[in-house]
Amino acid sequence: MRFRVILLCLLAALLSGADTWAQETTGSIAGTVKDPSGAVVPNAKVTLRDTDKNINVRALTTGGTGDFSFPQLPVSHYSLTVEAPSFQKFVQTGIVLNVHDKLTFFPTLQVGSQTQEVTVEASALQVNLQNAVASGVVTGTQVRELSMNNRVWEQLITLVPGVSWAARPGETSETLTFCQP
């Protein structure tokens, strides 16, 4: 009898927090370091810097496949630095990481001495190449600055691409419609 009570308590404790496991508040940055010919660059040093806090968050060395991955990163602005012997230093700035983003970069190292540096300041369009999920973020500025009818905050969901308010035929209430590309 006592065993059943303990088992039920454990089961209740596990199930009560099950819905919070699905809520992700981080993002990730990954990629592959290549040279100008498209070949991977093994043993390159990759450093990720949080430019909002002005600290180096993580540093790693790529493996034989030239791949790198920085999982579980908090929302922030980052810069990516890649260094390897016989190549110029590569710096990518202006990386914006939002909730649930999975950004992928393919830094190309130019042949040259390590004292030379290639800096990419114009941020390329950041596209999630790791999965096919449509997502969007409503920023705090949008929440504060946009007017809302009767302060109905659910209307902000229409700011996300692929979402619209629509009434279904025969229904009088409005429903959310998610457009499929």
Token pair 């009560």 in the structure block, residue = 16
Residues carrying CATH 2.60.40.1120, the chain: 26-120
Q: Are 103 and 64 in contact (CB under 8 A)?
A: no
For 106-120, what is the mean pLDDT?
Answer: 77
Architecture of the CATH domain 26-120:
Sandwich (2.60)
Write the secondary structure of 86-141 as one string of H (helix), E (strand) and C (coil): CECEEEEEEEEECCCCEEEECCECCECCCCCEEEECCCCCCCECCCCCCCCCCCHH
Rounded CA gap, 25 and 37, in Å?
37
Buried b (16+ CB within 10 A) or exposed e, 49-76: bbeeeeeeebeeebeeebebebeebeee
Rounded CA gap, 60 and 45, in Å?
6
Size of the chain in residues: 181
Supply the mean pLDDT for the chain. 78
Give 3-25 pLDDT, tens digit per residue: 676 766 666 666 665 555 456 78
- Supply the pLDDT for residue 134: 65
For 94-123, what is the mean pLDDT?
Answer: 80
Rounded CA gap, 79 and 98, in Å?
14
pLDDT at 126 over 80: no
Instruction: Determine the longest span between alpha carbons in the chain, in angstroms.
Output: 74
For 78-104, what is the mean pLDDT?
Answer: 91
Higher pLDDT, 127 or 72: 72
Question: What share of the chain has pLDDT > 90, as a percent?
Answer: 41
Q: Are 102 and 127 in contact (CB under 8 A)?
A: no
pTM of the model: 0.61
CA angle 157, 162, 163 (to 5 degrees): 35
Rounded CA gap, 122 and 82, in Å?
17
